[in-house]
Amino acid sequence: MKLHGKTIVITGASSGIGGEVARLARFHGAHVIGVDRNDPMVTLDGFVKMDLGDPAAIDAAISHLPAQIDGLVNAAGVPGTVDRDVVARVNYLGLRHLTDALVPRMPKGGSIVNFASILGVEWPKRLDAHKQLAATAGFAAGKAWLDANPVAQETCYQYFKEALIVWTKKRSVELFMQHDIRMNSVAPGPVFTPILGDFVSMLGQERVERDSALMKRPALADEVAGPVVFLCSDDARWVVGANLPVDGGVEAAYV
């Protein structure tokens, strides 16, 4: 891994997968700035508290981030058991707002990694809608589109992970061609984190039992961190617009 001397900003870095990404990135030489609404429970080189659901709060917090950033890992997110408006704001609109605001601080060769999910695998079924949302300019315009095209609470988590995969692919082409910045996403399956129980409640017992038969076990957070750090490194300098499953073969089992 070639992260020596790189400054990496990681959202959701206080615990869970984001915390493991921060730990591994620092091990490989990165200077890691964590971003989270909660105080960190891991060693970081810097920390900025931020509410990703509020664009004004994002803008205020950005002033405390470094002037040059080599990588951005968008690991923060909320489960579908919270209100759909919060899911939209944190998992998609806020993520997009922060990312676009930090692009001007990234040099050529910079990398962005977004956390999607194996639950976003059906994005082709709603591609037209996701492309329309991706085309909206900014947080407010995205929120207005969603107000006019409401998403069901029961499927909001899946929907916005689908939307994130599509936005990542669309935006990645622009960033690479115009700025030589790479953007990719990872799609973890179930992971042993404090919010795993929320996903069990969200999906329902029948879906959980069906998917459980397709996997050995949920992942450990450090098993997801390695692929993310790889995508941040120069070893992945020609990987652009990819959505990498990190799911122990769950997606493959559906083929």
Distance, first Cα to last Cα, the chain: 32
- Between CA 233 and CA 2 the distance in angstroms is 5
Q: What is the dihedral of CA 98, 234, 43, 246, to 10 degrees?
A: 80
- What does the angle CA 145 – CA 54 – CA 192 come to, to the nearest 5 degrees? 95
Contact partners, residue 82, CB within 8 Å, separation at least 6: none
* Residue 205 CB neighbours (<10 A): 9
- Between CA 165 and CA 185 the distance in angstroms is 7
The one catalytic residue in 92, 157, 159, 254 is: 157
Three-class secondary structure of residue 89 per DSSP: helix
Q: How many helices and strands in the chain, by DSSP H and E?
A: 11, 7
157: annotated active-site residue:
yes
Q: Would you state the structure tokens that stand for residue 72, as one six-digit string? A: 């951005």
Beta bridge partners of 245: 187
Three-class secondary structure of residue 245 per DSSP: strand
Question: How many residues make up the chain in this entry?
Answer: 255
Three-class secondary structure of residue 163 per DSSP: helix
Q: Would you state the structure tokens that stand for residue 246, as one six-digit string? A: 């990190």
* Cα dist from 75 to 52, 67, 91, 116, 254, whole Å: 11, 21, 9, 9, 26
Known catalytic residues are 157
